[in-house]
């Protein structure tokens, strides 16, 4: 097991990509803390992760609130003694045309997707500096690389911020033996994307199946991601095999974006 004796914190772990990452990390031997705004969802993920035999912890946390972020990381360290890996996965969006977006949309999306990722990264790094190193994995998106099918422009901007943050954080934290990378998922079949597809189906007068098929037709490999595809990349970036990789943002998208 490549992550044995590693303590991993996953935010937004209650469902979708976050849940898949938490379970995959546990499957590789990690001690897993599953954090989510919905404590019941975090507890469900932790219960599933416990089937792999390692210690688990469920935490209620608002990743748009700095005090909540601080309490979340402090709880992990108090429970397990250290923090080796954080996966900053929590994120929000909605499907909207650029001219329909509001200041409230900007504040809500950036509060979690940009501000939240930064302060989770900073708080985790504080622990990692003191213990001699660690891994930080941020969840960006191909939306941050200009993917035309993004849910909205504000979401794209927030994920572009994550990609830029990843580069600068990697440069500045390398001296402390901290690797910082991000993952840029393409179309991934989660409840969030399912809701977006349903919204577009209603607005376009089409069935959900027709809209999903149209999405997948644009993907060179011809299939959307499953959450496990993103989890596999997260496990790799947390593993010993990625010890010399930092400052990178990896597309996992079936070939939708090639830069």
Of 155, 181, 189, 227, which residue is the catalytic one?
Answer: 155
Phi, psi of 18 (to 5 degrees): -60, -45
- For residues 161-194, one letter each, b for 16 or more C-beta atoms within 10 angstroms of the residue's C-beta and e for the rest, the string is bbbebbbebbeebeeeebbbbbbbbbbbbbebbe
Is 97 annotated in the active site?
A: no
Residues 6+ apart with CB under 8 A from 242: 135, 179, 181, 236
End-to-end CA distance of the chain: 32
Give the SS3 label for residue 168.
Answer: helix
Residues 6+ apart with CB under 8 A from 11: 18, 35, 36, 61, 63, 72, 86, 87, 88, 89, 90, 116, 120
Active site residues: 155
């Amino acid at each position: 097991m490549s992550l044995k004796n590693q303590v991993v914190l996953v935010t937004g772990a209650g469902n979708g990509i976050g849940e898949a990452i938490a379970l995959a990390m546990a499957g590789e031997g990690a001690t897993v803390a599953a954090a989510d705004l919905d404590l019941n969802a975090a507890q469900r993920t932790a219960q599933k992760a416990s089937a792999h035999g390692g210690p688990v912890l469920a935490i209620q946390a608002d990743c748009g609130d700095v005090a909540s972020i601080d309490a979340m990381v402090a709880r992990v360290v108090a429970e397990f003694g250290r923090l080796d890996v954080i996966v900053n996965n929590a994120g929000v969006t909605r499907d909207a045309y650029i001219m329909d977006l509001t200041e409230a949309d900007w504040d809500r999306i950036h509060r979690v997707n940009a501000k939240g990722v930064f302060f989770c990264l900073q708080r985790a790094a504080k622990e990692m500096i003191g213990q001699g190193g660690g891994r930080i994995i941020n969840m960006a998106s191909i939306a941050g690389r200009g993917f035309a099918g993004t849910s909205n422009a504000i979401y794209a901007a927030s994920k572009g911020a994550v990609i830029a943050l990843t580069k600068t954080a990697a440069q500045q934290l390398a001296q402390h033996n901290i690797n910082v990378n991000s993952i840029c998922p393409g179309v991934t079949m989660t409840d969030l994307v399912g809701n977006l597809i349903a919204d577009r189906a209603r607005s376009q007068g089409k069935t959900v199946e027709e809209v999903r098929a149209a999405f997948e037709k644009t993907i060179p490999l011809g299939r959307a991601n499953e959450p496990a595809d993103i989890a596999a990349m997260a496990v790799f970036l947390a593993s010993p095999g990625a010890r010399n990789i930092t400052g990178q943002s990896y597309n996992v998208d079936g070939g939708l974006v090639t830069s």
